[in-house]
Structure 1
């Protein structure tokens, strides 16, 4: 047998194992509301090749190959346990088991590591929580995709309705088509049908009512059987408490804004300050995509090295707020053609840091340049640290943060030497540290942080909504603190 034939045999064997994992992962998700992860990446509804590529990711970050042969025994053990709703990371289980020297079997070790999700300790799934989307633009449609994807057993978040202004003939057909096909994020994973007579979109079995209204005061959500719902405002039209309170109509319990909040509206960055949300808080903001990109790394760096001051320069993809061709705009420069120019503009992300990280006393300044790409941005974070360090220490630390810390869902890490912006389309992390671009000189550090300002941000929004709804399930094994 030649070397090439032997490599191919190994690949086919791994394909076979990955195929056997798919029904196990699916059954755990549908019947027990258990999401199987691998280094924070969900394996639910993934293909054979996607499962293999996700395992390959561990080698790129940790330098150690993780094979499906390593993780399959842990996955098989999960099926024998009395599991409740949870997220279980089989990559972390495999690594922790290899480092454990007590001589336990895989079954014994796994049962111990996920004990908080089994038997008398497990969370009982509820009836779920209704969700309404107010606005159906770029973020609204991606949030809809995520809600539909995560419907799972039906015990979590349920997208019940979308509120939009009427757009004329075949309005609902056109909106469903925009949900079905996206020029940046690709095809919707599933099937979508439309019932114009009842103004309903059916996406993967989820019946979503399309409600036409020009103002929140026009809607009584209880008329549609919606109760105790979380409304996600994707319009950005109202950003203070008074304006957002208009949404607190019959059937709506909480309002989440997908833009920076003003005044006393809490700005929440999941992973950093979501645990500060008061149970009785009805109105909150998920801040901006850039705030979500820079605050988790800022917190991580401050925790380890201390941060005395910082500046963030964002190179940001253009957005719907800009003009395709030169035309009037209320801002000085955003009226100039977005696809043809780099446009200097302002960013409120630096000032928003204080709301999300009140304990960080370091002054943070910021500015932004919009550039002619439709998605994925980069934040260049220049920091004066509280102590001297070197590049190797910073990268080793951030690599560890991305793999095992409480911020592992927010911070990703890449050491690919040829990374470019399009590589990060569809990233579910708030930001991705580019190891190759990182610069450290004594107490000065410059981090280059990629972020999918559409999809990564939408994932952060969903995490906040899951938290306030009570369906943010615990993750096992517990991340290192």
Structure 2
């Protein structure tokens, strides 16, 4: 390529970057002031850098066949600011594509039509819902990160409290440190401060009360201004309706979500497969990682072709209950050094898949490595 050609490519990149940079305050303002989360084919634009925004525009070619132009998206974002939008998730790629397919309406009128359900709904279409994370191990901290990343957005969920068993006077500082840094998922995106006197951690402006308790029966959430809350149980200690119901007996709690597979008659929900079963059910489970990964694929295959028999094999990372070096363990294979062994063990994923998608009941076996 000639010098003129390389200069032209670079100038085009600078131009696209300038347009993406102009998007950042608009995206942020829509999110903070109107609780609107903007996306490109389901991928959030909120909190992205200029280069990340450009990368998402390029990603669009996998969906639309062509790279999305920032010059087309910027006017869409400007138009969104002129609408009185309430909490919503707006896919700017879809909005742009729909506008380009028609020529009867101007951009503002087109967006007002396709986003009619969100226009004029005010700053909160629904009252924010209090959330309590019960247990602050690795899963609990990741749940907290997700909730904090979406606070002030269109999701209506507010992390109000974390319940754990206190281990000493410096426990809150240690918990904040674990939230701030994760060896696999990286640093927390934002700021975290600790108030020992109030027993709170403030993360990105969200004040989180830390409550010490050995069981749900010890807690009155209304004493902390928490009501009609969803408790996310991430302890791994409870898995059936009788034990999880203890949360519902605590004042201020109305629903319970288990972050692991449930036993008995508690519904294991896999989004896109059986989420219609949520309804008003007060106790739900989010199923397991394997169940969420494989059930949508198996359901699609079964509906299209039919499945007579299948075997589910999971290649899994090592977990907290495995030994660092060879040692005694209730499960002999898990007694081997976690970092040096990938050993087959049993899994309940096959049964859990059938629970979320009953047509496969009795047709699957499973194990894990």
TM-score calculated relative to the size of structure 2:
0.93
Secondary structure of the structure 1 residue equivalent to 2:332: coil
Residues 107-256 of structure 1: pairs in structure 2 closer than 5 A: 107-119=108-120, 124-152=124-152, 156-248=156-248, 249-256=250-257
- In 2, the alpha carbon distance for the partners of 1:358 and 1:102 equals 47
- In 2, the alpha carbon distance for the partners of 1:162 and 1:339 equals 31
In 2 relative to 1, CA 231–58 (structure 1 residues): closer, same or farther, beyond 3 Å?
same
Secondary structure of the structure 2 residue equivalent to 1:231: strand
8 Å contact from structure 1 (residues 307, 362) kept in 2:
no
Alignment correspondent of 1:73: 75
Alignment correspondent of 2:56: 54
Alignment correspondent of 1:23: 25
Shift of 1:101: 4.8
Secondary structure of the structure 1 residue equivalent to 2:32: helix
Return the match for 1:13 from 12, 15, 18: 15
357-366 or 262-271: which moved more?
357-366
Shift of 1:155: 7.8
- In 1, the alpha carbon distance for the partners of 2:203 and 2:84 equals 31
- In 2, the alpha carbon distance for the partners of 1:299 and 1:142 equals 28
- In 2, the alpha carbon distance for the partners of 1:327 and 1:175 equals 28
8 Å contact from structure 1 (residues 308, 362) kept in 2:
no
8 Å contact from structure 1 (residues 38, 91) kept in 2:
yes
Residues 44-443 of structure 1: pairs in structure 2 closer than 5 A: 44-60=46-62, 62-98=64-100, 100-101=101-102, 103-119=104-120, 124-152=124-152, 156-248=156-248, 249-279=250-280, 281-360=281-360, 363-369=363-369
- In 1, the alpha carbon distance for the partners of 2:193 and 2:124 equals 33
8 Å contact from structure 1 (residues 126, 155) kept in 2:
no
- In 1, the alpha carbon distance for the partners of 2:154 and 2:130 equals 11
Deviations 1:341-364 (A, max 9, x none): 111112211211122112456822
Deviations 1:310-366 (A, max 9, x none): 322111111112111112221231111110111111221121112211245682222
Alignment correspondent of 1:404: none
Structure 2 alignment gaps of length 5 or more: none
In 2 relative to 1, CA 116–301 (structure 1 residues): closer, same or farther, beyond 3 Å?
farther
Of structures 1 and 2, the one scoring higher in RCO (CA 8 A, sep 6+) is 1
Superposed structure 1 runs of 4+ greater than 6 Å apart = none
Please identify the structure whose Cα radius of gyration is greater.
2
- In 1, the alpha carbon distance for the partners of 2:365 and 2:265 equals 21
In 2 relative to 1, CA 8–291 (structure 1 residues): closer, same or farther, beyond 3 Å?
same
8 Å contact from structure 1 (residues 309, 364) kept in 2:
yes
- In 1, the alpha carbon distance for the partners of 2:124 and 2:173 equals 38
Secondary structure of the structure 1 residue equivalent to 2:51: helix
- In 2, the alpha carbon distance for the partners of 1:151 and 1:357 equals 32
Structure 1 alignment gaps of length 5 or more: 370-481
Shift of 1:65: 1.3
Secondary structure of the structure 1 residue equivalent to 2:246: helix
- In 2, the alpha carbon distance for the partners of 1:23 and 1:184 equals 30
Shift of 1:112: 2.4
Deviations 1:32-85 (A, max 9, x none): 211101110111111111111111112245542112123222222212222221
In 2 relative to 1, CA 62–155 (structure 1 residues): closer, same or farther, beyond 3 Å?
closer
8 Å contact from structure 1 (residues 125, 155) kept in 2:
no
In 2 relative to 1, CA 283–52 (structure 1 residues): closer, same or farther, beyond 3 Å?
same
Shift of 1:256: 0.6
- In 1, the alpha carbon distance for the partners of 2:154 and 2:38 equals 17
- In 2, the alpha carbon distance for the partners of 1:284 and 1:356 equals 12
- In 1, the alpha carbon distance for the partners of 2:59 and 2:184 equals 23
55-64 or 200-209: which moved more?
55-64
User: How many pairs are equivalent?
Assistant: 366
Secondary structure of the structure 2 residue equivalent to 1:201: strand
TM-score calculated relative to the size of structure 1:
0.72
Deviations 1:94-126 (A, max 9, x none): 23344x255544334323222222247x89533
